[in-house]
Structure 1
């Protein structure tokens, strides 16, 4: 059974019991998937992405066709489950609870409790992917993402590295993208780069709960890391 079948069953069950807000949704994930930690992580990630995407759209006030397409790139939803995903998205948008309440609940659900939780970084990356789909990261979207990252206990330095990955490399500092200080010997830069590539390999992301359907996040991240490293490498060659 695919992750979407599971989510479809979950959404049908939650909405049938008159759940109307974030507390109901989160508690339902805790109880329904209590006996399967791996499935719980995968569903948690999916719910976080759908709910926080909905809240981001509401905060920005505009949902563009580009953002819808970006959402669909991450969420390759089978036609039979589209309605259930839409129900969850609408539930999140209609909930009177603010996005901070959602982020706090999702942080606990996804296993936060330590700084720079990798799975929560995956959620932030997915939200960036959607936010920048129209070619511009709007101010309200930027403020939203920054605040969600703070609630997720992602350090400011690490957040700046995530942000830099999503900027055009004409604007972003490649050292910031890699999360390494300028002035380091090239051998150290290369070792750091290889660790990043290994840590962010799609298999690693799947192992920590990222559903296979959302691997676009992993490939986009690796592309940004590779581009930053190549820029630094060219700079050393010209020394």
Structure 2
């Protein structure tokens, strides 16, 4: 059964008039958490789209890139998006419900934030309202500030990404410690690790950019230290 069929089943289980946010109470364990992950990115993305006041074609295309949505699945994706936009619950309520699903497992929160950054930057601009939205979601998720800065450095082109920020290290650290941090990130972002923490296979392609950024940061640091 595809992820979109399972999403359809989850939405069908909602009682008449029940908000989309209620669906997260039923998706707390694997493999249902992969359904929750997909709904979470679309739903929070819909709330974020309201934050900057508009939904662009580029943002819709970004959803397709993150989840590789086929034409036959677009109706279900649009349904999730519209239900989230219509739900009177605020984005903070959504974020808290998602936090409760994944509890102390840090990995999925970084994955979720990455999907949201991808969508936020789809139209080529990073709106202050989007920054405030994402920063608040990161706080609710309990994401360390250094991780949030790393994500923002990778996605927002207001400056050349600092390789040390991307790896979550500092320039004064010994090269061996930086290498260990790099290898840890590589292990954590292996497709098997992503699947194990609830990332649906449809979204794993999103991690390819992350691995490129991680490896490029290490290459830049290692070459600079060797010079």
Contact 2:164 2:170 in 1 (8 A): yes
Out of 75, 78, 91, the position equivalent to 1:86 is 78
Partner of 1:175: 164
Partner of 2:30: 38
Map 1:149-164 → 2, pairs under 5 A: 149-164=138-153
Q: Which runs of 5+ in 2 are unaligned?
A: none
Q: From the superposition, tell whether residues 139 and 106 of structure 1 become closer, same or farther in structure 2 (CA, over 3 Å).
A: same
* 2: CA distance, partners of 1:192 / 1:160: 16
* 2: CA distance, partners of 1:232 / 1:95: 46
State whether structure 2 residue 101 is matched by structure 1 residue 103: no
- Could you say what the CA RMSD is over the residues aligned between the two structures, in angstroms? 1.8
* 2: CA distance, partners of 1:88 / 1:167: 27
Partner of 1:18: 16
Partner of 1:48: 40
* 1: CA distance, partners of 2:125 / 2:222: 28
The 3-state SS of whatever aligns with 2:198 is coil
State whether structure 2 residue 202 is matched by structure 1 residue 204: no
Query: Post-superposition shift, 1:168?
Result: 4.2
Query: Post-superposition shift, 1:204?
Result: 0.8
Contact 2:46 2:84 in 1 (8 A): yes
Contact 2:126 2:156 in 1 (8 A): no
* 1: CA distance, partners of 2:194 / 2:203: 10
Query: Post-superposition shift, 1:187?
Result: 2.4
Contact 1:8 1:81 in 2 (8 A): no
Query: Post-superposition shift, 1:185?
Result: 2.1
Q: Which runs of 5+ in 1 are unaligned?
A: 31-36
Map 1:183-222 → 2, pairs under 5 A: 183-222=172-211
* 2: CA distance, partners of 1:133 / 1:153: 25
Partner of 1:65: 57
Contact 1:177 1:228 in 2 (8 A): yes
TM-score, normalised via structure 2 length: 0.92
Query: Post-superposition shift, 1:170?
Result: 5.0
* 2: CA distance, partners of 1:182 / 1:108: 35
Partner of 2:25: 27
Contact 1:75 1:214 in 2 (8 A): yes
* 2: CA distance, partners of 1:82 / 1:8: 12
The 3-state SS of whatever aligns with 1:133 is coil
Q: From the superposition, tell whether residues 159 and 170 of structure 1 become closer, same or farther in structure 2 (CA, over 3 Å).
A: closer
